[in-house]
Structure 1
Amino acid sequence: MIYISDLLEESQMIEILEQYDVGIEIIHFSISDVLDNAQTELKKYEKRLGRFLKERELSLHGPFFDLSPASFDSQIKRVTMERFETAYEIAKQLGAKRIVYHTGFIPITYYIEGWLGNSIAFWKAFMSDKDESIKVHLENVYEEAYWPMAKVIDEVGHKAFTACLDVGHVNAYSSKSIEEWVKGLGSRIGHVHIHNNDGNKDLHHAVNKGTLNMQTTLEHIRQVAPKSTGTLEIADKNQLIDSLNWMKERHNF
């Protein structure tokens, strides 16, 4: 299953949805101002996207700005939990199949030992009352290596809690190869964020516009995590169309 992120202007998003039979990954509810008026914003969003929200499979991108699930500050953790729970409830109301949250790891700021312990405790608490109706995916951003995220997923030990491997983030922020990340996370991969870049910046370019060999990468992911789904996180309309056609030709996801 392939989704497209609603990073585009709404009119462009609708235009593409009318041409391609793909799912939608909704990032609208990752913004704090939107979450402050969650139910009102939900009604507005349902009105704007109309039939597509009923016809297409949905994923939700959870909030991430200024939030830290591994924080040592109890108040920061409380607000993070509240925001994450609100987003999860919206996902439930929309009938979304999955929701993606960032790990919140920031290099240099965190010692890995403290980050690990705090992350495991946070996600155990978050997942404690969750069933398997919505898949919860933990996404890498600035991580150098895969193993801390793998450790969190293993320690939480919930069937609905898996990794979202963002291949563009690996290419931009990690010195480790994408092959090492895919092999290391293996069957923990439940979802993939797909975009390319020059290896230096998180550009969210088309799948074939960058230094990452996307064909080899996706084939490798398919081998270790055959049931994983993917989202094209591309903010330019033409590059997104190019990527959809590229994916369609190669039967990826």
Structure 2
Amino acid sequence: MSEGERRDDADPRTVRRGYVTQTHTGAVPWDDALRAASRIGFDFAELYLDGATERTRIDPNAVGSLAAEADLDLLVHLPFVDLEIGSPRDPVREGSLSEQRACIEVASEMGAEKAVLHAGTSARPPEWELDEIAPHLLDSVRVLDRFAADRDVEICVENLPGVPFTVHHLDRVFAETEASATFDTGHARVDGLDAEEMADFLDAHGDRVSHVHVNDAREDADEHVPTGSGTTDFETALAPLREGWTGTVSVEVYTFDFDYLELSAEKLDEFL
């Protein structure tokens, strides 16, 4: 949570900028992704620990060494598609927690400082109500947060679009766990927040929001178009980040073309 603390003597570079890699698809090798981050001038890369860069398919020491050589910090995005840390079925939930622990171990080995976590589940109405599954999700967050903290990794729970935990549920994460948060602008937009409401959220919870995903869109959808090419008013939405906030911001762009990432970095700098 220290990264989200406000500072009175902050300078314009207290916010570190990076991007969410698309390495899980296999279209971009992880080493190319890190070198591109360095060339573009990002401060860090957020490595996806799934698909082609699933934890058993990469060498964490090699990742850490290249990051150090490229003068990059590292974050990771934990897997989520097939994991159920909120499942009401104990064996399913425990198996998912075991896998997430293993991923956190790998993140620690490579020197990653933060791990983005989806606190979600496919267990939903009519079979399962939020009041039934929320305790499982919150307990899983607490378990993983403690496990990660012991390994110098900060868990950052991301608001999800339309499913628990959305931006409207993060108050429970703040109240019932000690975990930090990842604020995803596109997901917040899907769940009804306009730019001013995003700014209000960041202003109110800047001490707990340690990481931000800048996810641009042309409409209220989870599009991940190049930053600045959508219609999200980032000048307004990100205003609280210009007021002494000291966290990390990733542009999350669904592209394999590094030119679009470079342009996204330039646009992000304008907004910050």
Q: TM-score, normalised by structure 1?
A: 0.82
Question: Is the CA contact 1:146–1:181 (under 8 Å) kept in the aligned structure 2?
Answer: no
Q: 1:202-213 counterparts in 2 under 5 A?
A: 202-213=222-233
CA spacing shift, 1:16–1:92, aligned 2, 3 Å: closer
1:192 aligns with: 212
Counterpart-to-counterpart distance in 2, 1:61 and 1:167 = 16
CA spacing shift, 1:6–1:128, aligned 2, 3 Å: closer
State the Cα deviation string for residues 195-242 of structure 1 (Å, max 9, x = none). Answer: 20122432211221112111211113444x812211111132232111
In the alignment, structure 1 residue 57 sits paired with structure 2 residue 78: no
- Cα offset, 1:108, TM superposition: 4.3
SS in 2 for 1:141: coil
CA spacing shift, 1:130–1:79, aligned 2, 3 Å: same
Question: Is the CA contact 2:120–2:137 (under 8 Å) kept in the aligned structure 1?
Answer: no
1:87 aligns with: 103
**Which of the residues 128, 132, 146 maps onto 1:114?**
132
1:2 aligns with: 17
CA spacing shift, 1:15–1:119, aligned 2, 3 Å: closer
**Which of the residues 14, 30, 38 maps onto 2:50?**
30
SS in 2 for 1:136: strand
In the alignment, structure 1 residue 152 sits paired with structure 2 residue 197: no
The alignment covers a number of residue pairs equal to 240
- Cα offset, 1:114, TM superposition: 1.7
In the alignment, structure 1 residue 140 sits paired with structure 2 residue 159: yes
**Gaps in structure 2 of 5+ consecutive residues:** 1-15
**Which of the residues 100, 112, 124 maps onto 1:96?**
112
Which stretch shifts more, 102-111 or 199-208? 102-111
Counterpart-to-counterpart distance in 1, 2:66 and 2:146 = 33
SS in 2 for 1:26: strand
Counterpart-to-counterpart distance in 2, 1:212 and 1:73 = 39
SS in 1 for 2:87: coil
Counterpart-to-counterpart distance in 1, 2:43 and 2:53 = 28
- Percent of aligned pairs with the same residue? 17
**Gaps in structure 1 of 5+ consecutive residues:** none
State the Cα deviation string for residues 56-92 of structure 1 (Å, max 9, x = none). Answer: 1000100101212211011110121011101110111
Question: Is the CA contact 1:165–1:193 (under 8 Å) kept in the aligned structure 2?
Answer: yes
Counterpart-to-counterpart distance in 2, 1:216 and 1:137 = 23
CA spacing shift, 1:174–1:72, aligned 2, 3 Å: same
Question: Is the CA contact 2:148–2:155 (under 8 Å) kept in the aligned structure 1?
Answer: no
**Which of the residues 14, 29, 35 maps onto 1:14?**
35
Question: Is the CA contact 1:46–1:53 (under 8 Å) kept in the aligned structure 2?
Answer: no
CA spacing shift, 1:14–1:213, aligned 2, 3 Å: same
Question: How big is the alpha-carbon RMSD for the aligned residues of Structure 1 and Structure 2?
Answer: 2.7
CA spacing shift, 1:202–1:99, aligned 2, 3 Å: same
1:218 aligns with: 238
Counterpart-to-counterpart distance in 2, 1:70 and 1:176 = 25
Counterpart-to-counterpart distance in 2, 1:134 and 1:190 = 12
Q: Which amino acid aligns with 1:17?
A: S
Q: Which amino acid aligns with 2:223?
A: L
Question: Is the CA contact 1:119–1:152 (under 8 Å) kept in the aligned structure 2?
Answer: no
CA spacing shift, 1:153–1:68, aligned 2, 3 Å: farther
